[in-house]
Amino acid sequence: MIDDSPDIQTTQAAAASPQPGTGALEAAPKAVSRPKPEMKAEPKTEAKGEAKTEAKLETKAEPKADPKPETKAAGGGPSTSAAAEGGPDIAVLETDPESTSRSKSKGRRAKSAGTGATKSAKAAEKAANAAIEARIGHRFADPSLLSTAFTHVSALKSAKKRGDSYQRLEFLGDHVLGLIVSDMLYRSFPGADEGELSKRLADLVRKESCADVAKSLGLLDDIKLGAVGAGAGARLRKSVLGDVCEAVIGAIFLDGGYAAAAGFVERNWTERMRKPRRPLRDPKTVLQEWAQGKGLPTPVYREVERTGPHHDPQFRVAVDLPGLEPAEGVGGSKRAAEKVAASVMIEREGVSGGSNDG
């Protein structure tokens, strides 16, 4: 049963009608709840904005940060990237392609010139060696032996490397020459005794005979000397010509063996062996005996001059006899110079059997 009393209706009406302030409370939560999506959206919007900004910044920064290829400047200088840090002008100078190209071109030309000079020097040396080989009659399998045979100790860069001069080859050649000539004399003079053979041998292997052979082969100008004056060089060449000849014999022996060395000696000594160019006796003895036969005193020898370096001196000696013009001779020792002087006087005065091959 429905209660329609006025109090109940009034209560119901009041409950049904909105109370003052109630609508505002209900609306407030709705108003507060609406901005929540906006609050959530704002961070996203800011994040997106920041991401875009960062992306733009990175995009703009990347070309600047990207280092340019490092190109070394001509001459091995700093790279262009390093030069760019010091200023744009420096970078432009060091990365100038024309400058780099010119530097490379100059380097290639210098290298080409050096290579060309080396080839020319080798070709000239080869041609000179071929000319010497033609004169001595032996083609070397080892050209360095021929080069060493003509190298004086003064031409060495270091005095400690004396083995690179002709001296060792001279030692060997001296003994090889003695053996070959001894064999030639033994076979050519079957009736000669030991004394005569020894005298003939001494005459044929002495320095003057070797120098005469070298001179006949045109080897004088092939000798390699160090920094000496023109006059000193000429005297030095003449004084060591016999040594060089022996060195050549040693070089041939090492390169081609005994047969090759014997062939060289036989070609150049056979005629001298059969027709000795000087008395078999010592010229000083011959001159003294001739002077005594003329009633003259013993010849007097005096040193006129000493020249050349300490290790290779040259002596000029004169021999005097009363009533005769002095005669002079030059040699690597006083005794050698005295023999030459005696030979000069013997030849000049027409002493029987005497000659000068000095």
Distances (CA, A) of 10 to 2, 3, 268, 269: 14, 12, 166, 168
Report the helix count and the strand count for the chain, using DSSP H and E.
Answer: 13, 3
170 is in an annotated binding site: yes
| Six token digits for residue 184 | 């030639």
3-state helix, strand, coil in the chain (%, to 5): 65, 5, 25
* Residues forming a β-bridge with 151: 224
Q: What are the two backbone dihedrals, phi and then psi, of residue 109, each rounded to the nearest 5 degrees?
A: -65, -40
Between CA 301 and CA 327 the distance in angstroms is 10
End-to-end CA distance of the chain: 177
Residue 94 tokens, joined: 């060091």
Cβ–Cβ < 8 Å for 344, 358: yes
Q: CA neighbours within 13 Å on the CB side: how many for 231?
A: 3
Q: Six-digit token pair at 264?
A: 């060289």
Residue 243 annotated as binding site: yes
Q: Could you say which of 174, 203, 208, 212 is catalytic?
A: 174
Amino acid of residue 100: T
Is 193 tagged catalytic?
Answer: no
Q: Which is catalytic among the residues 212, 222, 246, 338?
A: 246
174 is catalytic: yes
Is 347 within any annotated ligand binding site?
A: no
Alpha carbon distances (Å) from 322 to 134, 298, 328, 335, 337: 50, 10, 15, 21, 20
Which positions make up the binding site? 170, 243, 246
Active-site residue set: 174, 246
Which positions make up the binding site for Mg(2+)? 170, 243, 246
